[in-house]
């Protein structure tokens, strides 16, 4: 049996580099609560992401919850169900009502033309999701938000380092959250960040992520704990030094996939967005069974038999979660449902290499029954 290929694999800095990075932690014994590594990583990310305000968090999910809390939102939030459960859960956990908007079938982000019809007097914000390294139509979204005085908070978990016409994904909207989970293009083992336009929010988010304390003896808000520790920040510092090589390696893999698969009938590849410099976070393929000859699920099983692990990011739609008790029928977002039923993310990670991509492509193509 050929060696197992996982859907992704964490990027790792050289071992010695990480050991060197954490050496000072033994000297200072400062392990968490906004230590020196945390401060340095915030500064480095501020520069890399071209953003003025950034607050590191324990993970992306908590970063999104902190942002939603910091804006004191109430009422309805327009978002999409084609995302990781985290996005919808954060909205619901903060006492807000998700209103699901459909996506477009090309780049799988929110269909901005369908947002306006979902706005009511209770709408307070839009939480669009950049998926796979594709960016949402921020210009249309911004216009709608201004017209109706809504906050725009991006789930940018997949958009680290992505730029559109030179503008950083971190600069879009009123705020955005990034995930630095082990499976992401850039990671700090677990981790995430809140970025935001208004610098007045920096203090507020820092207090929200630290139990709502404004000083050791002053709890002003019933906050939680969402702080990033020093070992995670140290991993982030190391990985950030290698981020360009990591993205370049993913780009090569994505290009090889494209060369091999783009002419296969029934396989719809991710759109290349005009002016967008992607990070190649995922390599999604939509499998159209009527042309490909077998379904997404059959293909996934066939690949598993060849020791190739793929994932259905994102299936099922978050709107179908049991806790909604059928309140959001999939028929309301037919394109999201259609894509979710056919999407398959093929393995991609730093260092995957042409040989491995070719093995995956051979396995995919051998299932084509046109
Ligand atoms: N919004 C969106 C759009 C997101 O995609 C996510 C996270 C979030 C919000 C929330 O951000 P965080 O709070 O997580 O920062 C993974 C991740 O756990 C999750 O972070 C990610 N999205 C989601 C799409 O995928 P799983 O359950 O698919 O991961 P798992 O454990 O099956 O790992 C997948 C593969 O990755 C493994 O087969 C091997 C590789 N791997 C995994 C781990 C954990 C490694 O190489 N190293 C590792 O340490 O959820």
Sign of CA dihedral 269, 127, 84, 211: positive
Cis? peptide before 340, omega within 30° of 0: no
Closest atom of ligand 1 to 313 CA is: 24
- Predicted confidence at residue 351, as pLDDT, reads 98
Atom of ligand 1 nearest to the CA of 90: 9
Strand partners, 177: 155, 194
Nearest CA to ligand 1 atom 44: 182
Those residues with Cβ within 8 angstroms of residue 244's Cβ, 6 or more apart along the chain or in another chain: none
Residue 134 near ligand 1, beta carbon < 6 Å:
no
Whether cis (ω within 30° of 0) applies to the bond prior to 323 is no
Phi, psi (deg, nearest 5) at residue 201: -75, -15
Domain with CATH 3.40.640.10 in the chain: 15-241
Distance of CA 356 to the CA centre of its chain: 25
Calculate the alpha carbon distances from 22 to 29, 48, 58, 230 in Å. 10, 22, 18, 8
350 within ligand 1 shell (Cβ under 6 A): no
Residues 6 or more apart whose Cβ sits within 8 Å of residue 343 = 108, 284, 285, 286, 287, 296, 312, 313, 314, 315
pLDDT in the model for residue 1: 75
The rounded distance, in Å, linking the Cα atoms of 119 and 167 is 28
129 lines ligand 1 (CB under 6 A): yes
Q: Is the CB of 79 under 6 A from ligand 1?
A: no
Q: Closest by alpha carbon to 5, among 369, 303, 367, 267? A: 303
State the Rg of the chain over Cα: 21
Identify the residue whose C-alpha is closest to ligand 1 atom 41: 9
Ligand 1 centroid distance, CA of 348 (Å): 13
Q: What is the pLDDT of residue 326?
A: 87
Residues lower than pLDDT 70 in the chain: none
Q: Count other C-beta atoms under 10 Å from residue 163's C-beta.
A: 19
First-last CA distance in the chain:
27
Distance CA 115, CA 311 (A): 29
- Residue 181 CA to ligand 1 center (angstroms) comes to 6
Residue of the CA atom closest to atom 28 of ligand 1: 311
Distance between Cα 350 and ligand 1 center (Å): 15
State whether the beta carbon of 347 lies less than 6 angstroms from ligand 1.
no
Please say whether the beta carbons of 208 and 255 come within 8 A: no
Q: With CA atoms as reference, report the closest residue to 108 among 347, 320, 326, 313.
A: 313
Taking Cα atoms as reference points, which of 190, 129, 140, 191 lies closest to residue 162? 129
Q: What value, to the nearest 5°, has the Cα angle with vertex 280 and ends 278 and 281?
A: 115
**Ligand 1 geometric centre to CA of 10 (Å):** 10
Locus of tokens 């309140």: 327
Tokens of 25: 């932690």
**CB of 86 sitting under 6 A from ligand 1:** yes
Q: Tell me what pLDDT residue 236 has.
A: 98
pTM: 0.97
Spatial contact of 97 and 145, defined as CB atoms under 8 Å apart? no
Q: Is 59 near ligand 1, meaning CB less than 6 Å away?
A: yes
Which residues is 176 bridged to in the sheet? 154, 195
**Nearest ligand 1 atom, CA 129:** 3
How much is the pLDDT for 370?
75
Nearest to 21, CA basis, from 311, 241, 173, 221: 241
- 297 Cα to the center of ligand 1, angstroms: 21
Residue 336, C-beta contacts closer than 8 angstroms, at least 6 positions apart: 80, 81, 82, 100, 102, 103, 317, 330
What is the SS3 assignment for 263-312?
CCCCEEECCCCCCEECCCCCEEEEECHHHHCCCHHHHHHHHHHCCECCEC
Q: Label the pairing between strands 97-100 and 123-127.
A: unpaired
Q: Report domain 15-241's class.
A: alpha beta
Residue 28 Cα to ligand 1 midpoint, Å, equals 32
pLDDT at 364: 98
User: Does the Cβ of 80 fall within 6 Å of ligand 1?
Assistant: no
Please indicate whether residue 61, judged by its CB atom, sits closer than 6 Å to ligand 1.
yes
The CB of 223 under 6 Å from ligand 1? The reply is no
From the CA of 181, give the closest atom in ligand 1: 15
Is the Cβ atom of 85 under 6 angstroms away from ligand 1? no
CATH 3.90.1150.10 segments of the chain? 243-366
pLDDT at 8: 98
Residue nearest atom 42 of ligand 1, based on CA coordinates: 183
What is the number of the ligand 1 atom nearest to the C-alpha of 60? 15
Determine whether the shortest distance from the Cβ of 192 to ligand 1 is under 6 A.
Answer: yes
> Does CATH number 3.10.450.50 belong to domain 243-366?
no
């Amino acid at each position: 049996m050929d060696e197992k290929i996982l859907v992704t694999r964490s990027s790792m800095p050289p071992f010695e580099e990480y050991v060197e990075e954490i050496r000072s932690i033994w000297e200072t014994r400062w392990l968490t609560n906004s230590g020196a590594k945390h401060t340095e990583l915030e500064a480095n990310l501020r520069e890399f992401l071209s953003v003025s305000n950034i607050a590191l968090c324990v993970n992306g999910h908590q970063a999104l919850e902190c942002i939603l809390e910091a804006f004191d939102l109430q009422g309805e939030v327009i978002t999409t169900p084609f995302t990781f459960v985290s996005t919808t859960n954060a909205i619901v956990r903060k006492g807000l009502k998700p209103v699901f908007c459909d996506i477009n079938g090309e780049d799988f982000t929110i269909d901005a033309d369908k947002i306006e019809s979902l706005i009511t007097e209770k709408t307070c914000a839009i939480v669009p999701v950049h998926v796979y390294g594709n960016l949402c139509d921020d210009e249309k979204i911004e216009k709608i938000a201004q017209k109706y005085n809504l906050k725009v908070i991006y789930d940018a978990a997949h958009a680290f380092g992505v730029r559109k016409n030179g503008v950083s994904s971190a600069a879009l909207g009123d705020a955005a959250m990034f995930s630095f989970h082990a499976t992401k293009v850039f990671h700090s083992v677990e981790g995430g960040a809140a970025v935001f336009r208004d610098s007045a929010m920096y203090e507020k988010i820092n207090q929200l992520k630290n139990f709502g304390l404004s000083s050791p003896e002053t709890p002003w808000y019933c906050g939680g704990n969402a702080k990033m520790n020093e070992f995670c920040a140290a991993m982030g510092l190391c990985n950030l030094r290698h981020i360009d090589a990591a993205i370049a390696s993913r780009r090569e893999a994505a290009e090889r996939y494209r060369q091999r698969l783009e002419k296969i009938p029934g396989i719809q590849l991710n759109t290349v967005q005009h002016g967008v410099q992607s990070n190649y976070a995922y390599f999604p393929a939509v499998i159209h069974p009527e042309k490909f000859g077998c379904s997404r699920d059959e293909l996934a099983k066939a690949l598993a038999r060849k020791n190739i692990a793929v994932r259905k990011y994102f299936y099922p739609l978050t709107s179908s979660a049991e806790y909604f008790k059928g309140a959001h029928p999939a028929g309301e977002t037919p394109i999201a449902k259609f894509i979710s039923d056919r999407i398959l993310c093929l393995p991609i990670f730093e260092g995957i290499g042409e040989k491995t991509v070719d093995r995956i492509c051979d396995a995919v193509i051998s299932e084509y029954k046109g």
